[in-house]
Structure 1
Amino acid sequence: MDAYSYPQQQQQQQQQEQQQQSQSQQQQQQQQIQSNFQVQSVLSPYNNIGNENIPRQRSTMLEFLDDEARRKYREKRDKNNLAAKKSRSNRRERERQMQLTIERMSKETQRLTNELALTRQRSEYLESEMNRYKALSYSQQEMLLRDNSNFPPQPPPPGSFMYPPFPPI
């Protein structure tokens, strides 16, 4: 059986060697395919060759154009630069105008808030005077009107007990 198993072992070794060779060939083919399809960045300022990074010279579009095309391109760029500058200037002016409008409206809001508070105080004073007159009898009202007929009623000056301080806003 030893004589029979020896050729069988040899055959198995040969099969293993063939498998290893085919595997190594497949790996080499895959590496070769990968290296053929390796993508290099167009935007990169370097050429990737192997493990080296070698700076490449950047070519510009203008190198491939004739004088007329260069002139047109330059005019187009200048026109675009001018438009961008004008746009930025207009934006700054709009922002400045907006800020002035905000400040003006804030002042107007503050003025109207103060005016409203003063009007409320006057309204409260007049309401309290009306309630005071309602509480008097008819004869007391006539007497009060006769005494004050020459002098129309005047609201008390601000800061008196009838005018409370402004409420916080």
Structure 2
Amino acid sequence: MPLTNEEIVEVINSYNLLDIEKVNKLNRSQIVSLFQDLKIPLTDQQKDVIINGMLACNQKATLNNCINIISCLHDHDDLGILKICFRGIDQRRTRKVNLDQAVEISQVIGKPMTKEDLSKSIPSNISKEFTFSDLSKLILGINIPENADPFNGIEDRSACCYIC
């Protein structure tokens, strides 16, 4: 169920209290405070990876970015959360993650898989690297195009766009 108007107002009010300079951009510590204010139940690992994903483009998160991410978390939008986690892990934008990183993403999403599970899932994957599409299928059971880009909507030095 989408965020209610009241929940959106709560996010906006909390965001505005943290955006002291009124520049519509929160940094890492402010986002942590926002999640705490809104009582978003995340482990430290989840918080780190999700915030890294939120900050993947210009190291700041706008109000719209925060509303979109909080909406993904609230709605349990696994594909949207996977996208943000992939961005948070793939800091160099290679569009591939290694086996350990894939395991970490599965844990953050709450659908833990072992190295063995992931290794067996794509026997032809000699390099043990996984694309966003691979992880969508393996972790979520959702088939998306192989060329799906987890960084779509982000351009260098632009405002982030989270399409969840």
Normalised by the length of structure 2, the TM-score is 0.18
| Higher relative contact order, chain-length normalized (CA < 8 Å, sep 6+) | 2
The structure where helix makes up a greater share of residues is: 1
Larger radius of gyration between Structure 1 and Structure 2? 1
